Structure 1
Amino acid sequence: MKAEHLAPIGAALARLLSPHAEVVLHDPATDQVVAIWNPLSGRAPGDPSLLGELDELSESGPDVYGPYPKTLADGRRLSSVSAVVRDEDGQPAYVFCVNVDRTAFDEASRLLAAFAAPVTAQPRALFEHDWTETLNEVVAGYVRERGVTVDRLTRADRLAVLGRLDAAGVLSARRSVPAVARALRISRSALYQLLGDLRKDADADPS
C-alpha cells in the first residue's frame, strides 16, 4: 500500500471539515509525517510524527484511538482521532490523524448557554391586552392536547376552540375574526358559520 492511495481520503476529510480541522498521514515505521492537509499545527511532510502519544502500535492493538485532547502552541484546544491503516500482514502501515480545532464550537456553546437564561413572565402592563398572544396560546394548547395539527381539527374541535377563545375574550376583540380564521386555517365565511352554531348552542343551553 502506498501513501498516494490514501491521499484522496485525507483530502476529502480535510475538505469536509475545513477550516476547523487538519488531517495528517503518518508513517509509523519512520515516525514521520507523510502528508498533511490544512496544517493547523504548522507541520509539513517529513516532520517528526511523535506518535509516542498513542499506545504502542502492534498487531493486537486497537485500530482507532480517541477522541483525545491536544493543544496547539497558541493555546487552541483540539479533539483528535487517530486510525491505524494496516497492510496485508496486519502490521501498521500508516496512521491517519484528524485534529479538530474546538475554538469555534466552544464559542458557540458559550453563546447558546448565554441565551439559555431563565425566561421571566411577560410584563402584564405590556401584554394584558394582547389578545393575539391569547389566541395563539389557546390554539396551540388545544392541538397539543388532541395530538393533531390545526389542519386535522374536526368541526367539533373547532367549535371547542372557539368556545375557549370566547371565554378568554378573544372573540370580542376588534378585528379578531381574520386572525382567528388564519389561526384555524379556515375561511372567514366558514368561521362565521361556526360562530353562528356556537351562539345557537349557547342559547340552547338551559344553564
Structure 2
Amino acid sequence: MLSRYQSIADAIATLFYPYAEVVLHDLATQSVAYIANNFSKRELGDDSGLDELENTPDATVIGPYEKLNWDGRKLRSISVVLRDDAGAAIGMMCVNLDISVFEGARAALDLFLSGSKLVAQPAVLFEDDWQERINRFIHGWLQQRQLSLSILNREHKRELVEALLHEGAFRGKNAANYVANVLGMGRATVFKHLKELKEQA
C-alpha cells in the first residue's frame, strides 16, 4: 500500500531538486521502503528507528526539525504519518531539505548588505542633490500611508504633488519633469496640478 505514495515522494523531490530527499518508511517492518533523490546514503531495507512513533498514535505531521547529514550539511526535515483506508498508520514520509546552500547565500547577503563599509553621504556631493531629497520625501510619504508607487491612483498622485510643492521640491530646474517620471504621470498633468495649487494658495 505504501507504493501509492511513491509518486508523491518523486514529485516533491523533483520540484525541489537537488535540495530535497524524500524517504518512505514501512512501519510494519521498521525499514526504509523507498527513497527519492537519495543524498543521505541510506539504503532500502535500512532500519528506520521509528519505534517511538507507537507512543504518538494520533500524530499526523511531525516537525519541522533539524538534522545533520553524513557530510555535515544541515537539513530541515518534516515527517508525515501515512495511513491506510481504515486510518491505521502504515508508514512515514520524511522530507529532508538541504538548507546549507540557503544558509551560505544568507551569510553572503548579510555580509554584502551589512553596510560596514558605508560612510555618511558626502555633503559636498549631496548638498544640492534635489533628486535625492525628492526620493527620500516620496518614499517617506508612501511609508506613512502604507502605499507603494505601483498602486497610487490619480488622487494619491495629486496629494503627493501637493506635498512635494509644500516641501519646496520643485525648486530644481527639472524637478517637475523628474517627479512626473517617478510618478508615471504626464509632465503636462504635473504642471497643471502645480498651477492649480499655486492659484489656490
Which category of TM-score, normalised to the shorter sequence, fits these structures? 0.7 to 0.9
C-alpha spacing 1:89/1:172, structure 2 compared with 1 (3 Å): closer
Deviation at 1:152, TM superposition (A): 2.4
Is 1:93 paired with 2:90?
A: yes
Identity score, percent: 33
Tell me what 2:134 maps to: 135
Unmatched segments (≥5 aa) in structure 1: 203-207
- What amino acid is the match of 2:165? L
- Partners in 2 of 1:105 and 1:19 — Cα distance? 13
> Which one-letter code corresponds to 1:131 in the other structure?
W
Partner residue in 1 for 2:67: 70
Alignment root-mean-square deviation, CA: 3.0
**Comparing 5-14 with 139-148, which one deviates more in the overlay?**
139-148
How far did residue 155 of structure 1 move? 5.0
Q: Deviations over 1:146-173 (max 9, x none)?
A: 66636323756633422323xxxx4332
| Structure 1 Cα separation of the partners of residues 134 and 82 of structure 2 | 61
> Is residue 161 of structure 2 the alignment partner of residue 162 of structure 1?
no
Summarize deviations over 1:107-138 as a string: whole Å, max 9, x none: 13323332452576422222222111112223
CA distance in 2, matches of 1:88, 1:188: 68
Name the structure 1 match of 2:124: 125
In 1, are the aligned partners of 2:66 and 2:77 still within 8 Å (CA)?
Answer: yes
Kindly provide the amino acid, as one letter, of the partner of residue 48 in structure 2: L
Tell me the distance in 1 between the aligned counterparts of 2:95 and 2:108. 26
Contact 1:21 1:99 in 2 (8 A): yes
SS in 1 for 2:167: helix
Q: Which has the larger radius of gyration?
A: 1
Paired residues of 1:59 and 1:92 also in contact (CA < 8 A): no
Q: 1:125 to 1:29 in 2, by over 3 A?
A: same
CA distance in 1, matches of 2:159, 2:85: 71
Count of aligned residue pairs for this structure pair? 195
For 1:174-185, list aligned pairs within 5 A.
Answer: 174-185=173-184
Match of 1:49 in 2: 47
Any conservation in 1 of the 2:161–2:190 contact (CA below 8 Å)?
no
Indicate how the Cα distance of structure 1 residues 130 and 95 shifts in structure 2: closer, same or farther if over 3 A, else same.
same
| Structure 2 residue matching 1:40: 3-state secondary structure | coil
Q: Using the alignment, how far apart are the partners of 1:78 and 1:128 within structure 2?
A: 51
Kindly state the Cα deviation for residue 200 of structure 1 after the two structures are TM-superposed: 4.8
